[in-house]
Structure 1
Amino acid sequence: MKKLVCLIGFLITLAACGKADQSYIPSVAVNFQAPLTDPRLSRLNAVGGAVTVAGGVSGIVIYRASATNYVAFDRCSSYQPEKRCAVTIDDTGLTATDPCSGSKFLLSDGSPVKAPATRSLRTYSVSVNNVSIFVYN
């Protein structure tokens, strides 16, 4: 009987360990590169400009935070990321909205500013030289 109880406990432990955390944006390889003169990036010519490009889980948002600082986030909302809802840049250019839940995120750092989201968007590294912009992880 003891052996049976131990076996059942062991099997329950194994089953619980196999469950993946579905509560955050999946990690995927990102390696976006484009010349700064690319017409898709024209809004990045000014501080506060933001664009969306292909890549990541649901696309990538690139935001020009200052004259020398750019940030990039996955467009996949951090609220119920399994739905893969892509945030859209608001008209203000300061926030992005998840069309599925109504959550809002600051473009300056990806943090949530309107519920129900409580986690920030997935951040990617950005590097810029005089010719190109690179977004990667």
Structure 2
Amino acid sequence: MRTSKNLGLLSTVVLLGSFLVACGDSGSDVQPQIPIIAFTTTISLLDQQNTALRFDNGVQYVDGGLKGLIVVRQKAGSYLAFERTCPYRPTDACALVSIDPSRLFLADTCCTSQFSIQGQVQGGPSRYPLRQYATSLNGNLLTISN
């Protein structure tokens, strides 16, 4: 009798597990993840090409990451760095986040997702914020790493 109870419980668990898998996210809702790569990029804030990062809310492109980086100076000594690969369908060739000409937000023209300069979703189909990387400032050298 104990064996039949165990088999009955096992059948219920298997059935419930199958039901949960079948009712999970549909394939169209599941977004592929941005590949994780190890990197370290150091830039000099004194370099002429980095002048935008000398002012609060300055935004500019920097080499690094998977498809490049967007770096934002929040205020003196406080920087954010984001992956340019859009989190919505990141394997699409055109999934590239750019700085809007207004410099007030970031956008992917391929999928029409928009992000604040803090990397948060503001519109479009993306449900995920931009991937953020670690930053550290030592004098005039800003290091960005994963």
Q: TM-score, normalised by structure 1?
A: 0.79
> Does the 8 A contact of 2:31 with 2:88 survive in 1?
no
Equivalent residues, number: 116
1:52 aligns with 2:73: no
**2:112 is matched with which residue: 102, 106, 115?**
102
Equivalent position of 1:115 in the other structure: 124
* RMSD, matched Cα: 1.4
- Of 119, 132, 137, which residue of structure 2 is paired with 1:128? 137
Question: In the aligned structure 1, how far is the partner of 2:85 from the partner of 2:137?
Answer: 24
- Greater C-alpha Rg: 2
Matches within 5 A, 1:1-137: 23-84=32-93, 85-108=95-118, 110-137=119-146
Unmatched 5+ residue regions in structure 1? 1-20
User: How many percent identity over aligned positions?
Assistant: 31
Offset of 1:68 from its aligned partner? 2.3
TM-score normalised by L of structure 2: 0.74
- 1:107 Cα deviation from its structure 2 partner: 1.3
| Contact 1:87 1:98 (8 Å CA) reproduced | yes
- Unaligned 5+ segments in structure 2 are 1-29
Deviation at 1:123, TM superposition (A): 0.7
Moved over 6 A (4+): none
User: What displacement does 1:22 show?
Assistant: 5.7
